[in-house]
Amino acid sequence: MAARSSCPPHAAASSPRPRWTRVAATTLLLVGCQGGTPSDTAAQNPAPPPPAPASARLPEPASVSVTASRRTAVVTAVSRVAPAVVTVQTESVERTAVDPFDVFFGRRPGAQTRAGIGTGFIVREDGVVVTNAHVVAGATRVSVAMRDGTTYSARVVGADVTNDLAVLKIDARRLPVAPLGNSDSLLVGEWAVAIGNPFGFVLGNAEPSVSAGVISATGRNLVGGGGGPDGGGASFDMIQTDAAINPGNSGGPLINADGEVIGVNSSIYTPSGGSVGLGFAIPINRARRVAEDLLAHGTVRRPWVGIVLRTPEATGNPRDLLTAGVVVRTIVPGSPAARAGIQPGDVLARVGTRTLRNPFDWEAALLDLRPGEEVPVAVRRGGRDVSATLRVADLPEVTAPKVTVLRELQLVTLTAAIRTERRLQSSAGALVYQASERVSTEIGLEPGDVIVQINRATVTSADDVARAIDYYAGRDPIRIFFERQGRYSFTDVIIRQ
């Protein structure tokens, strides 16, 4: 109660005083904080104001009881899920711009901490939280706040940028859990409710906000200008809703009228920066599979079938692409597609229960495949229908032997399957499979790069890189040539032993 007082703390005296002085000071303090007993004067006890005339009176407030008509399905649904909705708070460190005067006087560029905010929801009572990958991207510190303001430090278990999903873990027990629904049974037009923290830094408490709408569409493929958290990139097989989704809602649940999570709010299409009724959520069935992979492996096992599609010819009408078909251009030798008998020129018509009309439908289908599954495929070949079964595999670099260099750089020898799957120009080299943040920052190599040459030595395998670095370390500068996104570049590094 003292912390809420508007009075300053009482300071101790610097020299002894008579007892009466202390008593008087204490008396004054009590009067200042709590109020004294005023004398009975007219100035301190003015006459009460006359009652308002009947014409100025307003009706008495209604009963505080809640009628059944107000307790709608939306109210009931929100009450089931809202206790499990959390605020995800992040901090990231960004380097400030280099000032020429700082360089001249030997001062290093500084850094500033940037705060971010998003939403998540608890999926396991021991503190497992699902949110968007872009909410925690680049964060050096992550915390989770419950609706009552209780805050926990959070660890990022794993993040999948492709699906824009991340799993967090907090040290807590017996937490409320959001019930998960089935996104395969969605009905266009049924109620949809988005729960989250829109513009969370503006609102003054930790309780989530609620907005209601309907399921506007399912299976939406967004390519450029609409997908992704920043309005760019591509997103496939999304749920579309007109329930308001704004900055800060990212990672929150989209729920149905039964109080079940059917999607993870992820992005909006907007010309203004705010909601215009075009919000998109990741289907919960896919989010569940991704979360399970991240919890089990810390990463997502990518499906691989070894099919490279033919790029549709450009026409004057961009919507022609929607019915361009899914035509196979190349089959990777030894791949699941090759073993299933699929051939170049085949037109993919269906994968599992999903009908394919364009390459976007194929990309959406791949998101639902998992390594080890057997999936029926229907293709059209020469005017006739052909059935096949694909046994989905891991990406070839996942099962390839790894070579670790500098303890923070994992390489894989480039093979024909990897080269075809990634559409690389280099015929030989070492693919960067994993690289620590320090390697990426200080050396400049990133996962997906292909090392093709070190100094004057051509690289034909991952072992070539390891031998070259061992040879030059502590002797000479090393120039590493690599391919990245179809272009060649190099980086110079000195390794001290």
Contacts for 352 with CB less than 8 Å, ≥ 6 apart: 365, 368, 375, 376
Three-state secondary-structure class, residue 374: strand
Give the end of a domain, one of 394, 427, 449.
Answer: 394
pLDDT at 7: 43
Q: Is 281 in the same domain as 210?
A: yes
Give yes or no: residues 188 and 268 share one domain. yes
Residue 155 domain-assigned (yes or no): yes
235 catalytically annotated: no
Active-site residue, from 164, 346, 361, 368: 164
User: Does 210 share its domain with 255?
Assistant: yes
Question: What pLDDT was estimated at residue 265?
Answer: 96
* Residue 273 near residue 263 (C-beta atoms within 8 A): no
Listed residue (277, 11, 299) closest to 161, CA to CA: 299
* Both structure tokens of 463: 């072992």
Instruction: List the chain residues with pLDDT less than 70.
Output: 1-46, 52, 95-111, 200-205, 224-233, 271-275, 314, 474-476, 496-497
* CA dist., res. 408 & res. 47, Å (int): 82
User: Of these residues, 134, 183, 266, 449, which one is catalytic?
Assistant: 134
Cβ(160)–Cβ(204) under 8 Å? no
Cβ neighbours of residue 324 closer than 8 Å, sequence gap 6 or more: 312, 357, 358, 359
User: Which listed residue (183, 211, 216, 250) is catalytic?
Assistant: 250
204 and 257 inside one domain: yes
Same domain, 139 and 100: yes
Distance (Å, rounded) from C-alpha 164 to C-alpha 288?
13
Report the 3 state secondary structure along 328-346: EEEECCCCHHHHHCCCCCC
The answer as to whether 61 is a domain residue is no
User: 389 and 447 in one domain?
Assistant: no
Going 132 to 133 to 135 to 139, the CA torsion angle's sign is positive
Alpha-carbon gap, residue 487 to 452, rounded angstroms: 12
User: What confidence score (pLDDT) does residue 404 get?
Assistant: 78
Within a domain: 105: yes
356, part of any domain: yes
Candidates 390, 394, 397; CA nearest to 331 is 390
Q: What is the pLDDT of residue 475?
A: 65
**pLDDT tens profile 367-419:** 889 899 999 999 999 989 999 999 999 888 777 777 777 778 899 999 988 88
Torsion of CA 28, 33, 34, 37, to 10 degrees: 30
Residues 226, 269: Cα–Cα separation, whole Å: 5
Residue 56 lies in a domain: no
Please report whether residue 239 resides in a domain. Answer: yes
Domain that holds residue 479: 397-493
**Is residue 41, in this structure, part of any structural domain at all?**
no
Catalytic residue flag (residue 14): no
How high is the pLDDT of residue 33? 39
Instruction: State whether 195 and 228 are in the same domain.
Output: yes
Element (H, E) at 24: helix 19-34
Q: How high is the pLDDT of residue 24? A: 39
Q: Do residues 491 and 445 touch, judged by C-beta distance below 8 A?
A: yes
User: Does residue 190 sit in the same domain as residue 165?
Assistant: no
The answer to whether 462 and 468 have CB atoms below 8 angstroms apart is no
* One-letter amino acid for residue 91 of the chain: E
Q: Both 222 and 290 in a single domain?
A: yes
CATH number of the domain that residue 355 is part of = 2.30.42.10
Q: How many domains in the chain?
A: 4
Is the four-CA dihedral 316, 322, 328, 332 of positive or negative sign? positive
- Same domain, yes or no, for 127 and 161? yes
At residue 51, the pLDDT reads 74
Stated as kind and residue range, the H or E segment containing 457 is strand 457-458
| Cα(84)–Cα(128) distance, integer angstroms | 11
d(CA 4, CA 161): 45
- CB atoms < 10 A from the CB of 360, how many? 21
CA pseudo-torsion sign 160, 371, 292, 294: negative
Q: Residue 478: count other Cβ atoms within 10 Å of its Cβ.
A: 18
> Do the Cβ atoms of 321 and 309 come closer than 8 Å?
no
Name the pairing type of β-strands 409-413 and 403-405: antiparallel
Whether residue 177 lies inside any domain: the answer is no
Alpha carbon distance 220, 235 (integer Å): 8
Look at residue 460 and give its three-state secondary structure. coil
First to last CA, the chain: 61
Give the whole-angstrom CA distance, residue 449 versus residue 53: 82
Active site residue 250: yes
Look at the pTM and tell me if it is higher than 0.75. no
Q: What's the pLDDT at 110?
A: 60
Half-sphere exposure of residue 170: CA atoms within 13 angstroms, side-chain side: 28
Give residue 203's pLDDT. Answer: 61
What pLDDT is stored for residue 228 in this prediction?
A: 41
Q: Quote the CA–CA distance of 424 and 426 in Å, as a whole number.
A: 6
Q: What six digits make up the tokens of 252?
A: 């929150």
Residues 406 and 356 in one domain: no
Among candidate residues 326, 360, 222, the one with its CA nearest the CA of residue 279: 222
Q: What is the CATH number of the domain that holds 278?
A: 2.40.10.10
Domain end residue (candidates: 394, 409, 427): 394
* Whether residue 188 sits in one domain with residue 165: no
